[in-house]
């Protein structure tokens, strides 16, 4: 019978259901922030793990190689943590029309969109999502009431004059608003 450490190492290097659960638990096992609120949610961790576990390693994207590796549970945890994809209280990321913030570190917006949310920048912009960074908020359309409220909680002001000059966002008639897959 294998000892506990060997079994744990095997799970961390795997991509199966046990590995998925290990990665989700590891990502949400975080200390609460200064206000005592957990910084990470299980639903967000599941979204990240489901998007990345077993997928080709992001740094090898576009390579035509037979030996391309897939992301193990351990690699998912490391990569998501390194890029800051899980924090609820972050000040940088993408915000959907409902005000839900998908957080990332500085200069990792495209990694978050492409590898975790499975979207391209034009798709997110067409869906009325706002790109939030330390430099400000960029959105092709007027921000929704929910986006403005969420941005205010994060300490981002909005240029009301500039907002009035933007077109009103309307969901496409032929499809639903893109959501993370």
pLDDT tens for the chain, 181 residues: list them.
Answer: 444 455 667 877 877 888 899 888 888 876 555 555 556 788 888 999 999 888 887 665 555 555 567 888 888 888 888 888 877 667 899 999 999 999 898 888 999 999 899 999 999 999 999 999 988 899 999 999 999 999 998 888 777 777 888 889 988 776 555 556 5
CB burial string 142-175: b at 16+ within 10 A, e below: bbbeebbebbeebebebeeeeeeeeeebeeeeee
What CA–CA distance (Å, rounded) separates 136 from 126?
19
What pLDDT is stored for residue 98 in this prediction? 94
The DSSP letter of residue 175 is S
3-state secondary structure of 90: coil
Query: For residue 95, what is the enclosing H or E element?
Result: strand 93-95
Helices and strands in the chain, H and E counts? 8, 4
pLDDT at 57: 77
- Looking at residue 1, its pLDDT comes to 41
Bridge partners of 132, per DSSP, are: 93, 137
How confident is the model at residue 26, as a pLDDT? 86
For residue 130, the surrounding DSSP H or E stretch is: strand 130-133
Structure tokens at 139: 């959105």
State the pLDDT at residue 134: 87
């Amino acid at each position: 019978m294998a000892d506990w450490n060997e079994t744990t190492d095997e799970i961390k290097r795997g991509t199966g259901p046990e590995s998925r659960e290990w990665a989700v638990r590891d990502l949400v096992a975080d200390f609460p922030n200064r206000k005592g609120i957990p910084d990470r949610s299980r639903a967000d961790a599941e979204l990240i793990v489901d998007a990345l576990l077993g997928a080709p390693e992001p740094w090898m994207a576009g390579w035509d190689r037979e030996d391309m590796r897939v992301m193990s549970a351990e690699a998912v945890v490391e990569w998501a943590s390194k890029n800051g994809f899980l924090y609820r209280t972050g000040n940088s990321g993408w915000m959907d029309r409902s005000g839900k913030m998908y957080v990332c570190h500085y200069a990792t917006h495209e990694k978050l969109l492409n590898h975790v949310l499975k979207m391209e920048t034009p798709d997110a912009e067409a869906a009325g999502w706002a790109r939030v960074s330390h430099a400000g908020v960029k959105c092709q359309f007027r921000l929704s009431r929910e986006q403005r409220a969420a941005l205010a909680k994060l300490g981002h002001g909005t240029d009301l004059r500039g907002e009035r000059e933007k077109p009103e966002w309307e969901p496409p008639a032929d499809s639903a608003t893109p959501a993370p897959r």
